[in-house]
Structure 1
Amino acid sequence: MPTDFVTYLSQINNAVIAENGNDLAYLLRPTSPQGKDLVKEFRNPTKQTLRRFEGAIMSPWDEIAISYVLTCSHVARKRPGEAFKEHSQLVSSFFRFFTENRGWTLPALFSILRDLRDLAFDADLHAKYNDEKSEAMEEAARIIAKAFSNCITDRTSPPDQSRKWGIYYVVGLILKCYFRVKRISLAKNILRALHANDIPPLTSYPRSHQVTYRYYIGMLNFLNEDFEKAEEELTLAFYHCHTGAHSNQERILMYLIPLRIIRGHLPANELLDRFPVLKRLYMPFISAIRKGDLSGFDRALDAAEHTLLGLNVWLTLEKAREICMRSLFRRAWIASDKSTRMPILVFYVSLKISGIEITLEEAECFVANMIHRGYIKGYISHERQMVVLSQASAFPKIADRQAPFSYMTL
């Protein structure tokens, strides 16, 4: 049976009195069935035409209900900019109630903030395609940041009913907004406030909140070239990610795979088979590393340059070229019966065969670089043009190399 506005007001009022956060979240979602019913009831609603309903239920829920109808109307008529503005009013009205209540309101808060971000995305996209200016996502970030302050400053609610249990979900939404508008530096203020307050440990929060937070912290560290911390956070995010959240796993692996390659861990074929997009992107590099095919690695870099630059992983994969070269030199060593004394000419010829046009002096520099960075254990006798290799472990395992990320920021 269709829901009319009077019935909707009653449902809102009942959810508030019963302190039922999940019902309230459902009633405030523009995509819920009652939204379409209300759009049909009010053909062209405005603030003025709906003003007669003010005072029908306790404040601010009368205002929130009116804003909800207007938001649904704008969404139905494909006016994303107006929908975002009206929903922003709904969120602001909700904050007046939220700051005076306990954590039962968190499901509703999560729902309206998620819708706020989605509507901001639609508004900016619509403006872009119509050559208009829109800063809806930045405005959404500012509004969501107020919710963060309201959560983190709750010092009166009992621990199990504290608004602090919404902190990491809200932080995740803020970081999503900052990444969307490329204002990543603004994250410092949020994280500083997060670390300066007394809140429960991250592991106490729902797993989905943990995964989102760790992903964005990993990404922040990745972009700040703290690759060791980035790998740690992204690894935790991946292993805690729900197995059914395929797109989230793919997003995490997009950055985790290059970091693991630098560490010397190539992804298994079984893993890549689960993620065809990642397989198409990274398999050419993985195959080149396994074969020691330097020219193949370079071709893969050129072919995927635009995509890799857009993902900010081009430089990371370019550093993995050293691992491909190490594979090539190791093949030359095996072909020489694992001799402990190898002429530099052998490495020079292996590079030539791989399609790399260089001089003998440049080949010597490459070998010296491999030794310096721990890929080869030995030394060079320049006078004799000979490489003297360790008997025990001429080519140590890449995974055992100390500080594998230390040369990536040079």
Structure 2
Amino acid sequence: MDAEYNSVASNIVNTAQDGFMFEDGDALSALFVFDNQAINTIGRELSDVDNFETYTVCIGDPTFAQFTGTYLEYVRDSSWLDAEEQHKQLCRVAELFTALLSASQGPWLIPVMRPLTLALCQSAQRTFESTHDPAAFAQAASVLLRLLIDLLADNGGPLEQSKRVGCLFVAGLLLRISLRTSAAPGAYASKALEVKNLWGSSVFSQRDRVSYSYWLGRYYLVCYYVDSARSQLEYAFNGCPAWHMRNKRAVLRYLFVANMIRGQLAHPALLEKYQMEPVYAELAWHFRKGNLAMFQQVLIANMEFFRSQGNFLILMERTEILIYRNVLMRSSALNSRSELGRAMPYRDVLAAFQLSSQNYSMDYAEMESILASLVAQKFVLGFLFHHQKLVNLAKKSPFPPISSVGVAINSQ
């Protein structure tokens, strides 16, 4: 039994009942808050309540009554629960909200959904930092997936009058959290990709479109859909307000990687403007100069930084062949002044590749396989003459722009 009647619990329940009856989502969003400071303040006022059913009994809708009671329990207990238990309880709140939203008509509950789903993602991150167990991300992703399915199912009327007005926000969060699950991103993200068909509608705010494009770009980059990643990340970068330096810098970190793989390097002034970490300028310098050994040395020295962003492997795997191309292009420029012209002896290419990679045990067979890969992928236009030990470069544009070479996998 309660030690005494709790006026705060009573006021919250009565206000919630009024907001639900009049379908006032804005009023409910002001009531069901998920800010840590607000939760701690309200939680102290509710600490003496043992059973919230004695307060929610006045609510006519049983699902809303259960949602309200579970939310109040979450607020009351948050200050002493560990991160894992707190996340489980918040997942329960979100599951009840999903059931509530499924039974409602129209988009009036969307204002409540936005802070709840964002808090769910933030809770999953805190739980992972505490436990190092990605299960929290999987829990959150499952809830978001069920919620997104329900939102997209409401397609009986105009977009602005349906629950689909919330789908872009939830899809962005689902993409965000799917990147952190132990399963492949596509296991959760496939439903979020359906929202691309609605992305251009003016019903969605610029903020939601930019956020969705950012997370979609990151998803494409992880899947090696490089051209699609560039397109989405460029939109996010250009659409992000100029004053929001932190967000523009976050987008630029991934846009830098996608552009580098397609042969476009960020200008030093751009990196300086957004106060990018010095490692980006170092990588760009070594990439441009064809210095493979130093590029990989800098990358490995900053492995944890790039791994935390999910960019380490793509930088390590996709840049090596491009740097060898730059080495060959620079060597060709020197060789063009000789009488051999476009025909480069293998010995010169081998010396250049050995110097770039600092791998002086590289032999002709390994060097020729690199050349064959460059030609096969059309990074270099020319012919290899194995017996004569020559590479004969095309007379016209032997080094086409990387961005024009169709090697990047595109999304469907």
Both structures adopt the same fold (TM-score exceeding 0.5): yes
Partner of 2:4: none
Within a 5 Å distance, the mapping from 1:216-295 to structure 2 comes to 216-276=215-275, 278-280=277-279, 282-295=280-293
Is this contact kept in 1: 2:32–2:112, CA < 8 A? yes
Give the secondary-structure state (helix, strand or coil) at the position aligned to 1:225. Answer: coil
TM-score (norm 2): 0.79
| Separation of aligned partners in 2, 1:228 and 1:134 | 29
Among all aligned residue pairs of Structure 1 and Structure 2, give the percentage whose two residues are the same amino acid.
19
Matched, 1:75 2:74: no
Correspondence for 1:115 among 114, 119, 129: 119
Partner of 2:24: 20
| Separation of aligned partners in 1, 2:149 and 2:53 | 31
Within a 5 Å distance, the mapping from 1:81-92 to structure 2 comes to 81-92=84-95
Partner of 1:350: 352
Matched, 1:139 2:143: no
Give the secondary-structure state (helix, strand or coil) at the position aligned to 1:171. Answer: helix
Partner of 1:190: 191
Instruction: Tell me by how many angstroms 1:165 deviates.
Output: 0.8
> What letter corresponds to residue 59 of structure 1 in structure 2?
D
Q: Tell me, which stretches of 5 or more residues in structure 1 are unaligned?
A: none
| Separation of aligned partners in 2, 1:279 and 1:158 | 49
Partner of 2:406: 403
TM-score (norm 1): 0.79
Query: Which moves more between the two structures, 215-224 or 360-369?
Result: 360-369
| Separation of aligned partners in 1, 2:55 and 2:190 | 41
Query: Which moves more between the two structures, 159-168 or 344-353?
Result: 344-353
Superposed CA deviations along residues 229-258 of structure 1, whole A, max 9, x for unmatched, are 333333333333344554544444443323
CA gap 1:7/1:33 in 2 versus in 1, 3 angstroms: farther
CA gap 1:116/1:365 in 2 versus in 1, 3 angstroms: closer
| Separation of aligned partners in 1, 2:366 and 2:191 | 49
Partner of 2:9: 5
CA gap 1:397/1:313 in 2 versus in 1, 3 angstroms: same
Is this contact kept in 1: 2:257–2:311, CA < 8 A? no
Aligned length: 395
> What letter corresponds to residue 163 of structure 1 in structure 2?
K
Is this contact kept in 2: 1:380–1:388, CA < 8 A? yes
Instruction: Tell me by how many angstroms 1:103 deviates.
Output: 0.9
Give the secondary-structure state (helix, strand or coil) at the position aligned to 1:379. Answer: strand
Give the secondary-structure state (helix, strand or coil) at the position aligned to 2:179. Answer: helix
Give the secondary-structure state (helix, strand or coil) at the position aligned to 2:108. Answer: helix
CA gap 1:394/1:11 in 2 versus in 1, 3 angstroms: same
Is this contact kept in 1: 2:172–2:215, CA < 8 A? yes
Give the secondary-structure state (helix, strand or coil) at the position aligned to 1:103. Answer: coil
Partner of 2:160: 160
Instruction: Tell me by how many angstroms 1:151 deviates.
Output: 1.6
Is this contact kept in 1: 2:382–2:398, CA < 8 A? yes
Superposed CA deviations along residues 318-363 of structure 1, whole A, max 9, x for unmatched, are 3322332233333333334544244413333434554441345654
CA gap 1:52/1:312 in 2 versus in 1, 3 angstroms: same
Instruction: Tell me by how many angstroms 1:164 deviates.
Output: 1.2
CA gap 1:291/1:251 in 2 versus in 1, 3 angstroms: same
Is this contact kept in 2: 1:35–1:69, CA < 8 A? no
| Separation of aligned partners in 1, 2:123 and 2:314 | 34
Instruction: Tell me by how many angstroms 1:27 deviates.
Output: 1.2
> What letter corresponds to residue 263 of structure 2 in structure 1?
G
Instruction: Tell me by how many angstroms 1:107 deviates.
Output: 0.9
Superposed CA deviations along residues 28-52 of structure 1, whole A, max 9, x for unmatched, are 01327764443333334322xx333
Query: Which moves more between the two structures, 86-95 or 159-168?
Result: 86-95
CA gap 1:148/1:404 in 2 versus in 1, 3 angstroms: closer
Give the secondary-structure state (helix, strand or coil) at the position aligned to 1:77. Answer: coil
| Separation of aligned partners in 1, 2:137 and 2:120 | 9
| Separation of aligned partners in 1, 2:134 and 2:305 | 26
CA gap 1:261/1:86 in 2 versus in 1, 3 angstroms: closer
Instruction: Tell me by how many angstroms 1:285 deviates.
Output: 2.5
Is this contact kept in 1: 2:343–2:391, CA < 8 A? yes
Is this contact kept in 1: 2:91–2:139, CA < 8 A? no
Q: Tell me, which stretches of 5 or more residues in structure 2 are unaligned?
A: 1-6
Partner of 2:43: 39
Superposed CA deviations along residues 173-227 of structure 1, whole A, max 9, x for unmatched, are 33333332222242265258768xxx74544322333334334433443333333
| Separation of aligned partners in 1, 2:127 and 2:318 | 39
> What letter corresponds to residue 28 of structure 1 in structure 2?
F
Query: Which moves more between the two structures, 321-330 or 389-398?
Result: 389-398
Matched, 1:335 2:334: yes
| Separation of aligned partners in 1, 2:370 and 2:84 | 57
Is this contact kept in 1: 2:138–2:181, CA < 8 A? yes
| Separation of aligned partners in 1, 2:28 and 2:91 | 17
> What letter corresponds to residue 402 of structure 1 in structure 2?
V
| Separation of aligned partners in 2, 1:170 and 1:367 | 46
Instruction: Tell me by how many angstroms 1:295 deviates.
Output: 2.9
Partner of 2:108: 104
Partner of 1:318: 317
| Separation of aligned partners in 1, 2:135 and 2:17 | 34
| Separation of aligned partners in 2, 1:158 and 1:361 | 63
